[in-house]
Amino acid sequence: MGRRLRKWIVNAVDSDWKSSDRALLGWAVLTGLAAGLFAVLLKRVVGGLHDGMSGFAEWSAWSWWLGIGPLIGLLATRWVVRNWLRGEHPGPGVPSILHALSQRHGRIKRTWMFAPLITSSLSVGLGGSGGLEGPSLQSAAAIGSEIGRQTKRTFNRRLLLIGCAASASLAALFKAPVAAIIFAVEVIMIDLTASSLVPLLLASLTALITATALMGDGNILTPPDLDSFRMANLPLYVLLGTLCGAGSVVFSRLYLGASAAVNWLPSSRLRIWVGGAVIGGAILLFPSLYGEGYEVVNALFKGHAEMLASDMSMRRIDPEGWTLVGFLMLAWALKPILTGVTLSAGGVAGVFSPAIFCGWLLGFQFAVVSRWMGPMWSMPIGNAVLAGIAGLLAGVLHAPLTAILLAAEVSGGYALFVPVMLTSGISFQLSKWWMRNSVYTRELAERGELLTHDKDQSVLTLMKLDEMVVSDFEVLNPHWTLGQLIPIIERSSRNLFPVLDRHRHLLGVVDLQDVREVMFDQALYNKLKVHELMVLPEATVEATGKMEHVMRAFERTNAVFLPVLDQERYIGFVAQTTLFDAYRKWLKDTSIQ
């Protein structure tokens, strides 16, 4: 598919026009069209698999059938990765895209155009816990990256088209084009400027129109008519926001903890079998945890909690009061755990849907408990559920504006804009205090590979030290004499000479300025040794170190060159001028004008 797209782009349009800024709007529309088609295809395939599994379970009267679906999905995903994708697993969706932006300069693998669609269909469609937003976005981002690669080989073009893919995917899935654009800004870290706004808007609208034309006006989120906001309920929304903030941290830790526990297992095969058994057992207890779970929890908007309870294997129990809240809390805790297990066992899915699922449940529980406190403190269920979704999304993804606008767009208006803003803002701030990075960015941030809206930090992240190391310096032996050094100085164009031992460990540096004082005294040619002329460098930098550490070393020493070491072995020098030239280049390439 990538080869055909590349050939079409190369042959279809004039090379000068396709790389122009005017053509960018057309490429944004093409990216939006691809994202809309991918989203529709993925939803249809996963829906078909879900219906097929449920239909067969009902027809055969095998109550355990849904329980083995996740294991089948994980095994099928592993087979596809090994035999069709040559062992290249698509990864966890959004984090994979962020890694490609920071470490591969936005060059996304061409196999990602179709790999996430196939693997997530098997993982989620057959019962794995997770969402389809990440895989859909990943496939569309691969299309955007390829278009950027073939039309204009610059980082800012690829970055913008990947942002177009992100906004388009979310717009197609949720029919929320404005929230989708803000998602690209908050999560993909696109700079929202006059030049980037129109392409993002076109991609988002194109995907929305495509999805609506193929799937109708329906939405995966179907809130009913909501009650108007009452100032008397303001303290309740503050409390709900606090609970969402704490819940976001718990959600993230359960997800990361489950992932770490499964990754601790020694082999991928064992991870699949253990993961399939855990997910299958949970689904037998709560069939509503199967896949994304949108169908069941949509009922919570209208207060139909019995749909969740009647799905349990403990059908004879009629949950009321605190028993109902206990069951809902168990389902809430299981969702992030199962999502972490699904991804660590080799499945392909995202955390966007699980965060919405848990926001639903948290808002519903809050509304139930508030009713017990009397009519004065009662909060409408639909209002609480919508605020819970926004609050948990804001806290888990660290994307408060996306959460606020998504809640406003799916509810069909801005009647609850103030309480949703309040809930999301409180949740985001509390979550940010307790967890500096979201589940999307945690691992990248720990490795210093995360791009942010801090332009200086992003440029330093994109710069690669190994691309700037110069290794054509003449290497000296510490036991050579001054007479042996003179011919080397004469043929060299450098003023610095590294002194190494036989293991290529750096012993010191000889500066031409120091040699000039004695180089014309022939009486010293056989007496003076190189190790007597060398000095220790003011600082050294590691080839694998962070670029900000390299910059600080130059600022601290005011050196022109610094030696670069790789596991204590000398590999070359890096020049201050080279670093600043690269910094200016990347600063220009990351600016969308």
The 10s digit of each residue's pLDDT in 197-206 is 899 999 999 9
pLDDT value, residue 313: 42
Closest CA to 293 of 248, 349, 203, 354: 354
Question: pLDDT digit string (tens) for 476-525?
Answer: 998 998 888 888 888 888 889 999 998 899 999 999 888 887 888 777 87
Place of tokens 């035999």: 83
pLDDT value, residue 325: 76
pLDDT value, residue 358: 92
Q: Say which residues have a Cβ less than 8 Å from residue 454's Cβ, sequence separation at least 6.
A: none
Q: Which pair of structure tokens corresponds to residue 461?
A: 């992240």
Our CA angle for 179, 337, 54, nearest 5°, is 80
User: Mean of the pLDDT values across residues 252-256?
Assistant: 94
Does residue 3 surpass a pLDDT of 70?
Answer: no
Place of tokens 């993804």: 397
In whole numbers, what is the pLDDT of the chain averaged over residues? 85
Q: Which pair of structure tokens corresponds to residue 133?
A: 């937003």
Question: pLDDT digit string (tens) for 85-121?
Answer: 888 888 888 888 888 888 888 888 888 899 999 999 9
Measure the CA–CA gap between 292 and 197, rounded to whole angstroms.
Answer: 31
What sign results for the dihedral spanned by CA atoms 362, 364, 368, 371?
positive
Domains by residue range for the chain, with CATH: 2-215 (1.10.3080.10), 231-452 (1.10.3080.10), 459-589 (3.10.580.10)
Q: How confident is the model at residue 61 (pLDDT cuts 50, 70, 90)?
A: confident
CB 225 within 8 A of CB 409: no
Give the DSSP H/E element, type plus range, for residue 321: none
Q: How confident is the model at residue 428 (pLDDT cuts 50, 70, 90)?
A: very high
Place of tokens 């910059």: 551
Does residue 10 surpass a pLDDT of 60?
Answer: no
pLDDT value, residue 463: 85
Question: pLDDT digit string (tens) for 518-570?
Answer: 888 777 878 888 888 899 998 999 988 888 888 889 989 888 899 999 888 99
Measure the CA–CA gap between 128 and 138, rounded to whole angstroms.
Answer: 18
Q: How confident is the model at residue 311 (pLDDT cuts 50, 70, 90)?
A: very low
Does residue 354 surpass a pLDDT of 70?
Answer: yes
User: Mean of the pLDDT values across residues 248-274?
Assistant: 93
What is the pTM assigned to this prediction? 0.82
Q: How confident is the model at residue 588 (pLDDT cuts 50, 70, 90)?
A: confident
pLDDT value, residue 584: 84
What sign results for the dihedral spanned by CA atoms 61, 65, 66, 69?
negative
Distance, CA of 303 to chain centre: 34
pLDDT value, residue 316: 45
User: Mean of the pLDDT values across residues 177-181?
Assistant: 93
CA quadruple 230, 231, 235, 238: dihedral, nearest 10: 80
Lowest mean pLDDT among 39-43, 352-356, 424-428, 455-459: 455-459
- Biggest CA–CA distance in the chain, Å, is 104
Lowest mean pLDDT among 66-75, 188-197, 315-324, 490-499: 315-324
User: Mean of the pLDDT values across residues 366-395?
Assistant: 85
Q: Say which residues have a Cβ less than 8 Å from residue 560's Cβ, sequence separation at least 6.
A: 575, 576, 577
Measure the CA–CA gap between 469 and 545, rounded to whole angstroms.
Answer: 13
Counting every residue written for the chain, the total comes to 593
pLDDT value, residue 592: 62
Q: Say which residues have a Cβ less than 8 Å from residue 338's Cβ, sequence separation at least 6.
A: 128, 129, 258, 278, 279, 282, 289
Beta strands 496-500; 541-542: pairing state: unpaired
Q: How confident is the model at residue 317 (pLDDT cuts 50, 70, 90)?
A: very low
pLDDT value, residue 567: 85
